[in-house]
A and B are shown apart, each in its own frame.
Chain A
Amino acid sequence: MSILQTPGSDGRFGEFGGRYVPETLVPACQELEAAFADAWNDPLFRADLDQLLREYAGRPSMITECHNLSEQLGIRLFLKREDLNHTGSHKINNVLGQVLLAKRMGKKRIVAETGAGQHGVASATAAALLGLECKVYMGEVDIARQELNVFRMRLLGAEVEGVTSGSRTLKDAVNEAMRDWVASVETTHYCLGSVMGPHPYPFMVRQFHRVIGDEAFEQMNEATGTSPDFVVACVGGGSNAMGIFSGFIDTPARLIGVEPAGGAAVSRGQPGVVHGMKSFLMQDEYGQVAEAHSISAGLDYPGVGPEHSYLASIGRAEYPTVTDDEVIAGFQLMSRAEGIIPALECAHAMAWISREAKNMQGKTVLMNLSGRGDKDVGQMMSILKDLA
């Protein structure tokens, strides 16, 4: 039996997950759960989605062997190139699935939260393509550091609303999207951007992203004749990591989810409940949710998807942290050594690999390059002043 779980109607991965939402949203979550199950088992829906992934998003994404970094670090490093997808990250996989599903459910409008803006851009893109209205909630701090993505969303026809409550980052954008959904649930689908939230989101979003891992499993077999020794991905909510882990969970590969030191839900958090799920959560002694602090807007989140909490609790995956300084170094390392500018999120995975390479000599390492760094160059210009 696979470690990868299909949760029952209670939406649990071990003790984690569940559906902690206002009563108003319970019927909507139940309806979504049934609609997803129905669509996922419908060959026509799957064919429509596959076609969009192929002809619109550009799947399958390739793997790239990094010869320069491999030599430098003494490992054999491969990248899964989700950065080459349309819109520049893995987020499009989930969004095409959800928007197609929303349309099938007769919804006219989607709302989404976004941190770095990648999920917001992907949502705006899919909404434009499939003819739905789209509203994206984004913290004001993130709007300031990701203005390029804000403009892209508006260009794509989405309304972007700044969130001024709380830490004014991803956590508060989720709150605001949920408040919108409570009021608009009859016409609106909440297009949640990670493997988090109330059931069925963590399961559904993982299913939409497992294409990453399924492809990579075949590709690594073809390239190396076996599975990698390590599979490494960054973790905020954890969707790109869950996507790639899905393909290797039943192999001997060590699964590494790299969290930012300032948003380390698994290593610094305790079980808690927010945003509809029970999962590891950074919080204070009274259960107030802590504000995360990360250089990367996409990982600036105090919680984590419940399936990651489960994988951590059974010891199947590990969740180390890296500091912002290590991330900045990782960002530059990949850019210079391979001619690939990674998203700041993925630079976390690069930073961990670079730091731990001495303990992985001769091993094969697959890293999920979940997004490209174009969106981050403005922010990095202000940090790497000697280059600007």
Chain B
Amino acid sequence: MTGRLEATLRSRIDGGGKCLVPYITGGYPGWVDAVRACAANGADAIEIGIPFSDPVMDGPVIQKASQIALEAGATPVSIFQDIRSLDVGVPLAVMCYYNTVFHAGHERFANDLVAAGVSAAIVPDLPLEEAGDWCAAADAAGIETVMLAAPTAPDSRLPRVAERARGFVYSVGLLGVTGERAELALTATILAARVKKITTKPVLIGVGVSNAAQAVEASRVADGVIMGASVVNRMVEGGSEAVGLFVAEVRKALDGATW
């Protein structure tokens, strides 16, 4: 059965468009308004980060935002409560590190996501080999678990990653952690092309997609992009208004390009 996240992305893709999924650090002061701004300005889905004390896949921007959110008292429970009242009309995915899930318990965490109205989960430190128990609980609850495909994966591995992925396949744009880069890495489109070849699921590029031009460049091969540090940076510097303007700019660039 196709979940809400995948169905939403598919309808964008089937209409000839490209998907835009911004990331917002949950619990950061003003984050709820930032999520609304994303939804109002053309996001197809929104990724909400649950801050963790030790975010090994994140660069300085998201690390700092996470730390501020934690210092402001953010917890998974408080973030789920806020999400429940969001009602932004687009599917939501949480991005969280595995200890948050493990500590809560797989079934409880999956049920909490459902209760909060979240469609999907991305757990960047839970690779295929360790994902079985969580995926079983998530599948049972109807939560789509997005899997990450990395540039280092050999051809023999990618089909297994894509097969297990729900919602979309997260094609990691570069060797490295989240953060803005001057240029889109060459690896981004190379990997996305490899993944596209072996799956019919939506393939989105994330990590190192930093502006509208890079989003368009990435989407020449992929079905769309996830934008994290660039969005969080706007939230930190200019609040929800800056987030809205940025998301609108990327949306316009994606909609205006010819594919």
Interface residues of A (CB under 8 A from B): 10, 18-28, 165-166, 171-172, 175, 178-179, 182-186, 270-276, 278, 281, 283, 286-289
Contacts and interface: CB of A to CB of B under 8 A. Distances in A.
Interface in B108-134: 124-130
Given A182-B57, A287-B99, A19 B130 contact: yes
A182 B176 contact: yes
A27 B153 contact: yes
A153 B176 CA distance: 26
A184 B130 CA distance: 23
A286 B175 contact: no
Given A182-B177, A283-B103, A20 B98 contact: yes
B151 A24 contact: yes
Contacts of B129: 10, 19, 26
B54 A275 contact: yes
Nearest to B57: A22
B53 A289 contact: yes
Q: How many of chain B's residues touch chain A, expressed as a range?
A: 35 or more
Contacts of B59: 179
B76 A165 contact: no
B112 to A, nearest CB: 12
A28 B152 contact: yes
A23 B128 CA distance: 8
Contacts of A20: 98, 125-127, 130
B104 interface: yes
A273 B152 contact: no
A19 B127 contact: yes
Contacts of A283: 99, 103
B19 interface: no
Contact of A286 (B54, B77, B161): B77
A29 to B, nearest CB: 9
Interface string B67-89: 10010000111000000000000
Nearest to A31: B152
A273 B96 CA distance: 13
Contacts of B175: 24, 182-186
A172 B129 CA distance: 26
Interface in B153-169: 153-154, 157, 161
B219 interface: no
B52 interface: yes
- The 3 closest A-B CB pairs, nearest first, are A287-B103, A183-B176, A24-B150
Nearest to A177: B56
B172 interface: yes
A171 B54 CA distance: 8
B56 A287 contact: no
A286 B75 contact: yes
